[in-house]
Every structure is written in C-alpha cells, then in structure tokens.
Homo-oligomer: A and B are copies of this chain.
Amino acid sequence: MSIKELIDASHTAIKEDASRAAVSFVTTGELVGATEVTVHARQHEITVDEPPALGGADAGANPVEHALIALASCQAITYRFWAAQLGIALDDLAVTAEGDLDLRGFLGIDEAIRPGFTAVRLTITPRGPEPAERYAELAEAVDRHCPVLDLFSNPTPVERIVLPADLGQR
C-alpha cells in the first residue's frame, strides 16, 4: 500500500470509528551503568549513554540527542505523509536539528536557568521536481501536523509516579 492509499484508508477507518485514532506508545528503561540506560520500545532496544564529559562511557547518543533525533525524524516522516496527502512530489529530504543547553540548569548551579533546551534550530532540505512554493506549502502543513514539533513547541501534560521498589516491577 502506498502512503497515499494508507492515508485514505486511515481517514475512512477513523471517520467510521473515531476510537481507532487513539494510540499509545510505551517505552521501558533500566539504568545499567554509571549513566548507561537500556530502553525498549516494542521489539526495539536502544542504548542511551552520556559522553565522558557528562560521566558516561558514550555507549549511545544521550537523552537530549534522542530528543533531537525524535524531532528530526518526525519532521522527515511528516514531510513524507503530507507530501502524499497534498500531491507534492518529494524525492528525498535532509534534516538537521540542533539544540542549545545551559548546563547550569541541569546541575542546579543557577535555579533561574531552565534545564532543557534554551533554543532549537531545525533546517530542512526537501528535494524534488516541484516549484519552491509547493515545498513552502508543504512546510506549512508539516509544521501544523508534526507530533514531535508540537511536543517541543507546546506544553504536554506529564503525570509522574514514583513507585516504591517493593511495588515496582523489575
């Protein structure tokens, strides 16, 4: 099934029964080293670690890099979907996501400084035969519909539970 056929089938299925649009994603992780974390998402296993300057052995990209990986890949895939939806030819696409952090936030050296990214820059290069205006139209549609760009741009409600070890699953 092409992406366009999948989109059309999804629209039909969800219009028949809106509950089909509700999906959940779960990841589980364990600290397995000084800063190394093994995380599972369905059958996929991802190693996250910090570079030596942040106390780790650099066995994988670190958490904030994974946040940028999420953003870059979500932009790329949302371009693919919306290009199909809008009938815009897209041959390929390159994306760069860059984020600035002030470690005084994370380390608690200055409580007025946020621990997260203070600024993020996203550069997208879509390639294909269409005139530039059509890729500008596509970019506008992507910015309104990209799940991870929404996560970066707007607050998301997070419910946090700390379970005592004797109740938690190992």
Q: Contact check, A158 vs B101: say whether CB atoms are below 8 A apart.
A: no
Binary interface encoding of chain A residues 53-82 relative to chain B, with 1 for a CB under 8 A from any of its CBs, else 0: 011100011111111111111101111111
Q: How far is the CA of A143 from the CA of B161 in the complex (A)?
A: 11
**16 other A-B residue contacts (CB within 8 Å) besides A44-B61, A101-B147, A123-B161:** A10-B103, A23-B101, A25-B64, A31-B79, A41-B68, A42-B61, A62-B77, A105-B145, A116-B147, A116-B150, A116-B151, A121-B161, A124-B160, A124-B161, A125-B168, A126-B162
Contacts of A60 in B (CB 8 A): 44
Binary interface encoding of chain A residues 105-128 relative to chain B, with 1 for a CB under 8 A from any of its CBs, else 0: 111110100111111111111111
Residue of B nearest to A24 (CB): B100
Copies in the complex: 2
Known: A98-B25, A151-B151, A159-B121. A66 touches B76 (CB 8 A): no
Q: Contact check, A30 vs B66: say whether CB atoms are below 8 A apart.
A: no
CB distance from A109 to the nearest CB of B (A): 6
Question: How many residues from A make CB contacts under 8 Å with B?
Answer: 124
Contacts of A14 in B (CB 8 A): 103-104, 107, 109
Contacts of A163 in B (CB 8 A): 123-125
Q: Contact check, A151 vs B117: say whether CB atoms are below 8 A apart.
A: yes
Q: How far is the CA of A97 from the CA of B159 in the complex (A)?
A: 10
**Option from B44, B54, B73, B106 in Cβ contact (under 8 Å) with A63:** B73
Known: A70-B64, A148-B64. A154 touches B116 (CB 8 A): yes
Residue of B nearest to A30 (CB): B94
